């Protein structure tokens, strides 16, 4: 088999395996496979952008340490910027980005495609250098495929995926209305710093410290991914198909749900008494704006107020989904309308 074919297999099989793993972790609302494939292919554009900008950024400096540090910083900023640019370009008009974890999935897809192409170049470079040092083609191929390829399959894929995922999380929050563009920029700087730290420490022959930076990056990625999944509105719809029973007593203002209306075909115990105002309402996991945002209720949605706590209201929908909203803006439903909503007829 030709070395280029073997190198391609060694580079892209691990990259795709990591992608399948990440994609499978999105348990509640999977992203369209067609969009995932398109973003993976579009990673070629990220490589091209990075190559051009890194070529322009190369400067003549004196001192190996200065060259390593400046190169690492430039590479971190350029490559993370190139990957994010492709994620933004490929998803800016997509209606599939509906929760923060989607941003991480899309960013990971582009990053793993980027890592696969980069690994391919590393493998071929190792082979060509070995041949230039008069090693036999068989020995050079063995060196490239058994040393460079396995190392890059782990460090290259994990590094690019983690750094891009940090930016992807902030991008997903921004697109879903729970974050800001400034937050995306801060995440980009953090990812670029981690990337630069890893590359710079490797260049300074401080491999243990470099791998520590990589480990920290992976742990941050895992933490953000879990947090994004926990905040998924689709999670609550799947895990709670019926409402939880309400305690017989509670804090001041506690209200038990009304019995189901006669002939009602909805969830047992559901009787709407308010509706969501125009413009919709954000819903939180707890009566605290610092808790996670669990969904966005559409305008006009009938809800039942289970409990009030100050300005907060714990509301229940007909599907059994619940969350805390700003109770001050809920619109009361008249008795006749309540019977219509609950039973389906006046």
Q: Could you list the mean pLDDT of each consecutive 10-residue stretch along the chain, which spans 346 residues?
A: 93 97 87 95 96 78 66 87 97 86 96 97 95 93 95 96 97 86 96 93 91 97 90 54 33 37 48 89 79 82 87 85 88 66 44
CB 341 within 8 A of CB 316: no
Chain-centroid distance, C-alpha 197? 22
CATH number of the domain residue 265 falls in: 2.30.30.40
Return the pLDDT at 59: 62
Give yes or no: residues 293 and 230 share one domain. no
Query: Do 168 and 261 have their domain in common?
Result: no
Residue 18, Cβ neighbours under 10 Å: how many?
Answer: 21
Task: Give SS3 for 158.
Answer: helix
> How far apart (Å, rounded) are the C-alpha atoms in residues 166 and 217?
9
Q: Which of 166, 200, 234 is the last residue of a domain?
A: 234
Q: CB-based burial of residue 85 (10 Å sphere; 0-12 exposed, 13-18 middle, 19+ buried)?
A: middle
Both 227 and 287 in one domain: the answer is no
Answer for the pair 251, 309: CB distance below 8 angstroms, yes or no: yes
Domain extent at residue 20: 3-234
Are both 224 and 329 inside the same structural domain? no
Residues 200 and 310 in one domain: no
Cα gap 157→153, rounded to integer Å = 6
Assess whether 216 and 338 both reside in one domain: no
In 3-state terms, what secondary structure has residue 226?
helix
Specify whether 83 is located in the same domain as 189.
yes
What is the model's pLDDT at position 189? Answer: 96
Question: Based on the domain organization, do 248 and 228 belong to the same domain?
Answer: no
Q: Which of the listed residues 184, 207, 234 is the one where a domain comes to its end?
A: 234
- Mark whether 230 and 253 lie in a shared domain: no
Please compute, for residue 192, the number of CA atoms within 13 A of its CA located in the half-sphere on the CB side: 21
Residues 194 and 247 in one domain: no
Reported as type and span, the H/E element at residue 238 is helix 233-239
Q: Would residue 172 be called left, alpha or beta, if left means φ above 0 and alpha means ψ between -120 and 50 degrees?
A: alpha
56 and 24 co-located in one domain: yes
Do 107 and 176 belong together in one domain?
yes
pLDDT of residue 69: 72
Question: Which of 212, 234, 256 lies at the terminal end of a domain, its last residue?
Answer: 234
- pTM exceeding 0.75: no
Cα separation, 298 vs 283, in Å, equals: 11
Q: Kindly calculate the radius of gyration of the chain based on its CA atoms and give it in whole angstroms.
A: 26
Domains identified in the chain, total number:
2
């Amino acid at each position: 088999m030709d070395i280029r074919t073997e190198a391609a297999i060694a580079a892209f099989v691990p990259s795709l395996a990591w992608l399948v793993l990440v994609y499978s972790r999105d348990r509640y609302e999977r992203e369209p496979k067609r969009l995932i494939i398109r973003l993976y292919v579009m990673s070629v554009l990220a490589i091209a952008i990075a190559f051009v900008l890194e070529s322009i950024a190369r400067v003549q400096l004196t001192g190996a340490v200065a060259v390593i540090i400046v190169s690492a910083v430039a590479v971190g900023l350029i490559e993370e910027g190139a990957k994010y640019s492709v994620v933004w370009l490929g998803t800016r008009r997509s209606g599939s980005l509906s929760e923060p974890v989607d941003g991480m999935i899309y960013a990971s897809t582009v990053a793993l495609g980027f890592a696969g192409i980069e690994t391919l170049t590393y493998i071929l470079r190792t082979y060509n250098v070995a041949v230039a040092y008069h090693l036999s083609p068989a020995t050079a191929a063995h060196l490239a495929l058994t040393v460079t390829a396995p190392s890059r399959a782990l460090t290259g894929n994990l590094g690019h995926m983690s750094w891009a995922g940090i930016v992807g999380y902030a991008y997903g929050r921004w697109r879903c209305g729970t974050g800001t563009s400034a937050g995306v920029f801060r995440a980009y700087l953090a990812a670029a710093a981690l990337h630069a730290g890893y590359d710079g420490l490797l260049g300074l022959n401080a491999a243990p410290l470099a791998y520590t930076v990589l480990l920290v990056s992976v742990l941050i990625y895992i933490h953000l991914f879990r947090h994004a999944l926990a905040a998924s509105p689709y999670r609550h719809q799947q895990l709670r198909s019926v409402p939880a029973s309400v305690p017989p007593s509670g804090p001041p203002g506690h209200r038990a749900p009304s019995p189901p209306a006669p002939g009602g075909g909805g969830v047992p115990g559901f009787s709407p008494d308010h509706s969501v105002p125009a413009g919709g309402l954000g819903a939180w996991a707890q009566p605290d704006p610092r808790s996670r945002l669990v969904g966005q209720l559409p305008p006009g949605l009938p809800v039942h107020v289970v409990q009030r706590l100050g300005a907060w209201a714990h509301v229940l929908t007909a599907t059994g989904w619940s969350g805390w909203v700003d109770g001050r803006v809920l619109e009361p439903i008249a008795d006749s309308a309540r019977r219509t909503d609950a039973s389906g007829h006046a």
